[in-house]
Amino acid sequence: MTEQAQAGAQTDVVGGRVESRGRWRDFRRVFFGNRLALTGTAVMALFIFCALFAPIIAPYDPYEQDLTAKFAPPTSQHWLGQDELGRDILSRLIYGARVSLTAGLAAVAFATVVGTVIGVTAGYVGRWVDSVLMRLMDVILAFPTILLAIVIVTILGPSLTNAMLAVGIVNVPQLARVVRSAVITVRERDYVEAERALGAGNLQIVRTAILPNSLAPLIVQATLTLATAILDIAALSFLGLGARPPTPEWGAMLTDAFRSGFGVFVTGQHAIIFPGVAIALSVLSVNFIGDGLRDALDPRQRR
């Protein structure tokens, strides 16, 4: 190799490193400059901390009952009060973060994996395969997500696992369409044609060239889908199709409180307010993070 060629190769390597550092710097500038995204990250970090260390930070056993303190208001011993069975609401919310976030993440993980496979296959292969897969996704999108999830859970049987599966299934089409759109854009790029000219197989091209350059929109959509998944699982649990009593899940906590009778509106408002606030904060924080990622990964935001 001549000195000129060596100098050119070194320049390419250095240029690639500079470009990578520049992209990371632009990402940090845009994301950390978004106050709502930072607020959402802080709130979600708090929920994750509660989920990971629930046995340590929860002041009481979430299943411990005190029937003499039904709907007891907040006190210095029970900061958020007690529910219809005298259980500590704060402890149940802390343990509920573990259940609700895990269920939402599991549903989104399932939807992401299946949606990515369908989207890559449809976008890269094209032709009749694309038509068949996308028409199937259109059929699923034709139904309201929560109603379709209710139908699936009703068929499979009420349980938290089936609720996660149902929510994952109804969110597959959105992720599949995003991935397909990204793959169609990427598959005609010069570096993909270069790999194909060098004799790379389809799987290698997808693994090394297609997927890495399609991750940005997938990450944003998966993050926004997480907010929907948390809300849908809470709704299914509220309808009695998700977590079963006495599991401390936020939606199930609302159901248990409402089932106790009219007294919840007289003396037990806190039993429905605090779980509702937890659901709302988690959904809002994930949406803020998703919006921040969308802006930070947008090439138009770079200098």
Give the pLDDT of the chain (303 residues) as one tens digit per residue. Answer: 444 444 444 444 444 454 556 677 878 888 888 899 999 999 999 999 999 999 999 999 999 999 899 999 999 999 999 998 999 999 999 999 999 999 999 999 999 999 999 999 998 888 899 999 999 999 999 999 999 999 999 999 999 999 999 999 999 999 999 999 989 888 777 777 777 777 777 788 878 788 888 888 899 899 999 999 999 999 999 998 998 888 999 999 998 888 877 767 778 899 999 999 999 999 999 999 999 888 887 665 555
At residue 300, the pLDDT reads 56
Start-to-end CA span in the chain (Å): 36
- Angstrom distance (rounded) from CA 43 to CA 282: 7
The answer to whether residue 6 sits within a structural domain is no
What pLDDT shows up at residue 21?
Answer: 61
Q: Is residue 165 part of a domain?
A: yes
CB 210 within 8 A of CB 124: yes
Q: How many CB atoms lie within 10 A of CB 20?
A: 10
- Could you give the residue ranges of the DSSP H alpha helices within 187-249? 190-197, 202-205, 215-238
- One-letter amino acid at 201 equals G
Structural domain contains residue 224: yes
pLDDT at 14: 45
DSSP string, 60-109: S-TT---GGGTTPPP-SSSTT-B-TTS-BHHHHHHHHHHHHHHHHHHHHH
Range of the domain at 92: 11-301
Please tell me whether residue 278 adopts helix, strand or coil conformation: helix
Structure tokens given for 47: 């929920």
pTM of the model: 0.86
In-domain check, residue 5: no
| Predicted local distance difference test score (pLDDT) of residue 11 | 41
Domain count for the chain, please give it.
1
Q: Is residue 3 part of a domain?
A: no
Q: What are the C-alpha distances in Å from 234 to residues 21, 161, 248, 253?
A: 41, 13, 11, 9
Q: What pLDDT is attached to residue 8?
A: 47
- CA angle, residues 284, 75, 247, in degrees to nearest 5: 55
CATH code where residue 93 lies: 1.10.3720.10
Residue 4 inside a domain? The answer is no
Is residue 272, in this structure, part of any structural domain at all? yes
Residue 188 DSSP class: T
Residue 158's pLDDT is 92
82 — phi, psi (to 5°)? Answer: -130, 155
282 inside domain: yes
Give me the amino acid identity at 279: I
- The single-letter code of the amino acid at 168 is G
